[in-house]
Amino acid sequence: MPNLENLKKQAKQYLRWHRDQYYPVAAEIRAALPRFRDLDDHAILTAEFKLADAQELVARQSGFDSWQVLKSGALTMTKQSKPATPLPVLQSTAAQLFVADIGAACDFFTEKLGFAVDFVYGDPPFYGQVIRDNARLALRLVCEPVFVGDIRQREHLLSASIALDTANDIKQLYLGYQSAGVSFHQALRTEPWGARTFIVLDPDGNLILFAGPAD
C-alpha cells in the first residue's frame, strides 16, 4: 500500500481533475462510488464533488470501505514495515513522430510551431528531438509509408498530445499558429467534457493535439 501522504496527494489530484472537468476521471468515479453509478460523464463532472468524495474514491480503489479505514490500515502498515527503497520516478515523456526528412521536420517545428531543436543524430540525420517548454517530440526518419493512405486523418489517429495550463494559453497558441499559416486537422473547439482543443497537421501527416481548459 502507498504511504498516507501519497494517498492524500492522489485524492487531491482526483479533486483537481473533477474541478477541471477532465473527462477520463468520470469513469473512475462512476466505477468506485455507488452514488455516481447511474450518472453519465457530463452529470458526474458537473455534480458536487468534495475532497471527502475524492478520499473515498482512493479508499475504495485500494480495497477499503472508507477513507478512515484506509487511514488506519496505512498508518498500521507504516509503523510495522521497514523503510523501503524509493521507487524510480518518471520525469518526462516524449512522443515519437515518423517523418520523411529530419531537416524539413525540424524546420517546420521551429519556424511554425515555436519549438527548438534539442538534437539531431546521424550523418545524414535519422533521429532528432524538438522541445518547447516541457513538451518534447522525437522525430524518427522513415523511408517508406508507415500508415496506409489517409487513415490517420480519417480515423483521427493522434501522434502526440500536448497540454496547456490556461484557457488563454490555448487560445493564444491557436491564434499564433493560425497567423503562421499552420495547417489544422481540427480547428479550436470546446469538447463535450469541457476541454478546449485543436489539432495540428504537420507536413508528414502527423496529428498533434493541443488541449487546455475551457475557462
pLDDT per residue as tens, the chain (215 positions): 457 788 888 889 889 989 988 878 888 898 889 889 899 888 999 999 999 998 898 888 888 888 888 877 655 544 444 556 788 888 778 899 999 999 999 999 999 999 999 999 999 999 999 999 999 999 999 999 889 999 999 999 999 999 999 999 999 999 999 999 999 999 999 998 889 999 999 999 999 999 999 88
| Beta-carbon contacts of residue 123 (< 8 Å; ≥ 6 apart) | none
Enter the pTM of the model.
0.61
Cell 473527462, residue?
Answer: 23
- How far apart CA 154 and CA 147 sit, in angstroms, is 12
